[in-house]
């Protein structure tokens, strides 16, 4: 966070900088201000809470992340939908998730199943035996042990979670 050090490495010529200095709010603020004064184009900063996030945005941070909060949300989502392996929030309304294929789907093609019409979800990919089929077609058959990569609204994904 030393201005001399940042100048000595020509930080002002950097396209981006990441500030992740633990839980010391003052150091995060000082580093962010210095990097922005040196004209670093994009500064990403780690915050510990919503209040610190607000301050960092006000002083010029381009992106602020809250890893503890984000992980808490992710863990809660995974606990709420035990058959889902991972979930990536695309927006407040849409997510991409991966889930075990329901047993009732084994041996059926995507066309037969009509996931989009029935559940409002799109199957973006299917993982089988270490291989991933991205953008499978309607003739692709779901096998025992298939893992589906699904895109949909959060409410449609919840509907899909009830399929057995």
Q: Does domain 69-161 have CATH number 1.10.730.10?
A: no
pLDDT of res. 79: 58
Name the CATH superfamily for 3-65: NAD(P)-binding Rossmann-like Domain (3.40.50.720)
Torsion over CA: 31, 37, 38, 44 (sign) = positive
Quote the CA–CA distance of 151 and 157 in Å, as a whole number: 8
Q: How far, CA to CA in Å, does 67 sit from each of 28, 50, 81, 120?
A: 15, 11, 21, 31
Quote the CA–CA distance of 23 and 46 in Å, as a whole number: 9
pLDDT of res. 77: 62
Tokens representing residue 163 in the block: 């399929």
Quote the CA–CA distance of 8 and 28 in Å, as a whole number: 20
Q: What strands lie across the sheet with 147-153, from one edge to the other?
A: 84-89, 94-100, 147-153, 122-128, 131-134
pLDDT of res. 142: 94
The ranges of the chain with pLDDT < 50 are none
pLDDT of res. 83: 62
End-to-end C-alpha distance for the chain, whole angstroms? 54
Q: Where are the domains of the chain?
A: 3-65, 69-161
Helices (H), 38-132: 50-58, 67-80, 110-113, 115-119
* 0.95 exceeded by pTM: no
Tokens representing residue 135 in the block: 């953008």
């Amino acid at each position: 966070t030393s201005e001399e050090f940042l100048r000595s490495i020509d930080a002002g010529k950097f396209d981006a900088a990441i500030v992740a200095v633990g839980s010391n709010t003052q150091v995060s603020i000082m580093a962010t201000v210095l990097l922005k004064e040196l004209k670093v184009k994009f500064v990403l900063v780690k915050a510990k809470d919503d209040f610190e996030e607000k301050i960092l945005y006000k002083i010029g941070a381009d992106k602020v992340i809250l890893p503890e909060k984000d992980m808490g949300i992710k863990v809660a989502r995974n606990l709420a939908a035990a058959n889902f392996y991972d979930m990536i929030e695309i927006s407040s309304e849409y997510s991409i998730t991966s889930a075990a294929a329901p047993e009732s789907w084994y041996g059926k093609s995507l066309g037969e199943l009509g996931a989009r019409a029935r559940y409002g979800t799109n199957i973006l990919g299917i993982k089988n035996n270490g291989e991933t089929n991205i953008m499978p077609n309607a003739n692709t058959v779901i096998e025992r042990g298939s893992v589906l990569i699904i895109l949909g609204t959060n409410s449609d994904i919840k509907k899909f979670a009830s399929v057995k």
